[in-house]
């Protein structure tokens, strides 16, 4: 019965996404996908064809809950590998010393100790990362009217770029790991296509690009789960440009030029397990 309910939610979400996008529901293969999957096409074809996609805009609670249920029980934030279940990062317990700065440590959530041992290491082509408890108003006062927290009160963004990557490790170690899937809550997706995740296999091959449907000044969710652990990393695109004192959001008509700026809240992912 529970599986049936999840499928109904998924179908409704897919229909909603379809109405937003003439290309139809995710995945949307990027132009570079074929080149990046060289040598792994046949091996990844089977799993790529069968992920469950959870997506919603504005009213996202149901899709988030269905994705959490699909991944399994929330594991403790301790080092080591669990047989199943999921991990989450909601940023909300990040200490004040690491809040409203532009130097949030990229390996903060792969420390060897609880509660920071969660097996996720970040990278970006920008200058760093930031966790904010004031909707990034510390960077630009206008952001307080654009962004919000799905899980109060802290949210997250790369700095100096709209692109970042998450690599999975056995929690609290340097042992590369794979996850069954990844989901993220975005805040203030104004335009279709401005927020997305590309899941990557162990060889760096694309497992598909999945867009989050828009909800201006609200929340958007995209989560993708494979039947087995095949996701070694995730590339996240959040908006059309980086945050900054001179960077205005597309919906802020009082300032210009403007681009669709997007930030992130909850990361939800399958337990990172040693890849064989």
Nearer to Ca ion, 10 or 242 (CB): 242
For binding to Ca ion (CB under 5 A), which residues are involved?
Answer: 90-92, 149, 151, 154, 188, 190, 249, 260-261, 265
Give dist(CA 17, CA 14) in Å, integer: 5
Beta carbon of residue 81, minimum distance to Ca ion (angstroms, whole number): 25
Beta carbon of residue 252, minimum distance to Ca ion (angstroms, whole number): 9
Handedness of CA 145, 146, 149, 153 (dihedral sign): negative
- Sort 35 into a burial class: Cβ within 10 Å, 0-12 / 13-18 / 19+: exposed
Nearer to Ca ion, 91 or 226 (CB): 91
Query: Which three-class secondary structure state does DSSP give residue 223?
Result: strand
Nearer to Ca ion, 91 or 210 (CB): 91
Give dist(CA 182, CA 166) in Å, integer: 10
Nearer to Ca ion, 226 or 267 (CB): 267
Pseudo-torsion of CA 210, 215, 217, 219, nearest 10°?
-60
Nearer to Ca ion, 168 or 219 (CB): 219
Beta carbon of residue 217, minimum distance to Ca ion (angstroms, whole number): 8
Give dist(CA 255, CA 86) in Å, integer: 41
Nearer to Ca ion, 200 or 264 (CB): 264
Beta carbon of residue 80, minimum distance to Ca ion (angstroms, whole number): 25
The one-character DSSP state at 97 is: G
Beta carbon of residue 150, minimum distance to Ca ion (angstroms, whole number): 6
Residue among 138, 154, 117, 163 at smallest CA distance from 266: 154
Handedness of CA 137, 142, 145, 147 (dihedral sign): negative
Beta carbon of residue 185, minimum distance to Ca ion (angstroms, whole number): 8
How distant is the alpha carbon of residue 242 from its chain centre?
Answer: 16
């Amino acid at each position: 019965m529970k599986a049936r309910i999840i499928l109904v939610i998924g179908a409704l979400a897919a229909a909603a996404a379809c109405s937003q996008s003439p290309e139809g529901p995710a995945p949307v293969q990027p132009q570079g996908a074929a080149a990046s999957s060289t040598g792994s096409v046949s091996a990844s074809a089977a799993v790529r064809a069968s992920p469950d996609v959870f997506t919603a805009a504005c009213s996202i609670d149901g899709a988030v809950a269905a994705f959490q249920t699909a991944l399994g029980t929330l594991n403790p934030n301790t080092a080591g590998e669990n047989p199943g279940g999921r991990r989450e990062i909601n940023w909300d317990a990040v200490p004040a010393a690491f809040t409203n700065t532009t130097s949030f440590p990229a390996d903060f959530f792969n420390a060897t100790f609880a509660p920071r041992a969660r097996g996720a290491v970040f990278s970006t082509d920008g200058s760093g990362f930031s966790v904010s408890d004031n909707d990034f108003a510390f960077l630009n006062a206008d952001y307080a009217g654009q962004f919000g927290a799905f899980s109060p009160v802290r949210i997250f963004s790369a700095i100096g770029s709209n692109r970042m990557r998450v690599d999975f490790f056995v929690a609290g170690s340097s042992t590369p790991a794979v996850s069954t899937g990844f989901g993220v809550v975005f805040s203030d997706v104004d335009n279709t296509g401005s927020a997305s995740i590309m899941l990557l296999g162990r060889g760096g091959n694309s497992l598909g690009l999945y867009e989050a449907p828009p909800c201006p000044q609200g929340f958007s969710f995209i989560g993708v789960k494979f039947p087995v652990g095949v996701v070694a990393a995730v590339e996240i695109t959040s908006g059309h440009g980086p945050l900054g004192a001179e960077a205005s959001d597309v919906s802020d008509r009082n300032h210009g030029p403007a681009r669709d700026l997007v930030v992130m809240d909850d990361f939800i992912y399958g337990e990172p397990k040693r890849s064989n």
